[in-house]
Amino acid sequence: MQLIEISDLVVDHDPGTRERLPVRGADVVARLVAAGDRSGARIAAGLACDDDGNLDPLAVDRRLVAVHTELQRLSEELRLGDRIAELLRPLLAVIRAAGRTDGPLRVVDVGCGLGYLVRWLAASDALGPDADLVGVDFNAALVTEAGRLARAEGLPCRFVRGDAFALDEPATVYVSTGVLHHFRGDDLDAFFAAQATPGTAAFCHFDIAATGLAPIGAWVFHRARMRDPLGRHDGVMSARRAHDDETLLAAAAHADGLTPLVYEPRGRSNPFCTTLRPVIGVRPDLLPPLRAELGPGPSGRLVGRADTVGGTRQGASTGEGAR
């Protein structure tokens, strides 16, 4: 069965003008049926359409905002902000020490959705007062809602609409959470290549770890915590679509001038706690001080292509060595 997320099918835009295009409900259903995903097709068949058979854009936006709101709860329970800050703090410390920028250190979250990570970083001041926090997403409804939430919370951050393959927002460090599995092949390569701008010192992208138990864990968690069938479907599909380490490292190598690494704990751990792990890229001159800043234990978690075996690290399929 071809692995497709419903949320990837229900919104379409003109790549040149970024204007929203109509999406026929029957076409979405047909795509899922052709992919052998009858469960997804039944969910898509329940989406509201207008008299012409096109999906109702307002209803679609409300549904996606609702699903992302549930995803925020998941991020809170997984302590996503803490996990990312664990890496970003030493990374920014090294960048500051190297004098990489004269102004604020800009951290840009690509595919930010409702902006949970950016808002968490702003609320906790986890990265220091000189960190300029920006969220970018192509979906106008999600960006609008992220900005509304930030204003209501009085947070020093901002959200803009942007294309992950043609980034308008320069960044010292690009980050993302749960975005990588949406891209395949050339698109995954292009995602990383777009971040190889002269001012970029590093990237840090968290996504689902491609372990054999990840889909089972995702099913259990989403059945227990997600009420929307679309969110449940796409959550499990996300785990099934997760990229292995070698695929991510090969794609990340397209960010010219940045050294790609995955960052994972070593040793045994509960496989059902295996969730997210990052692929990072740093300028080569920043890597030795970053290892020193992390310390001998955490520094050993940084793994390059030479350390991966057969597409995944040894032990990854059983959860060994995972978070």
Over residues 239-269, the pLDDT tens digits come to: 899 999 999 999 999 999 999 999 876 555 5
CA 218, 223, 227, 233 torsion-angle sign? positive
- Read off the pLDDT of each residue in 89-104 and give the average, rounded to a whole number: 89
Mean pLDDT of the chain: 88
Q: Show the tokens assigned to 87.
A: 């890496």
Euclidean distance between CA atoms 101 and 112, whole angstroms: 24
Beta bridge partners of 306: none
Range in 63-77, 140-154, 183-197 the model is least confident about = 63-77
- Read off the pLDDT of each residue in 86-103 and give the average, rounded to a whole number: 89
Would you say residue 221 has pLDDT above 90?
A: no
Helix, strand or coil for residue 57? helix
Q: Show the tokens assigned to 256.
A: 């010219």
Euclidean distance between CA atoms 296 and 292, whole angstroms: 7
- One-letter amino acid for residue 87 of the chain: L
Would you say residue 50 has pLDDT above 60?
A: yes
Give percent above pLDDT 90 in the chain.
68
- Read off the pLDDT of each residue in 21-30 and give the average, rounded to a whole number: 97
* Residue 21: predicted pLDDT: 96
Helix, strand or coil for residue 81? helix
What lies within 8 Å, CB to CB, of 278 at 6+ separation is 84, 87, 204, 205, 206, 207, 262, 263
Nearest of 164, 159, 117 to residue 135 by alpha carbon: 159
Name the phi and psi angles at 230, rounded to 5. -65, -45
* Residue 300: predicted pLDDT: 78
Q: Which H or E element spans position 159?
A: strand 158-161
Would you say residue 135 has pLDDT above 60?
A: yes
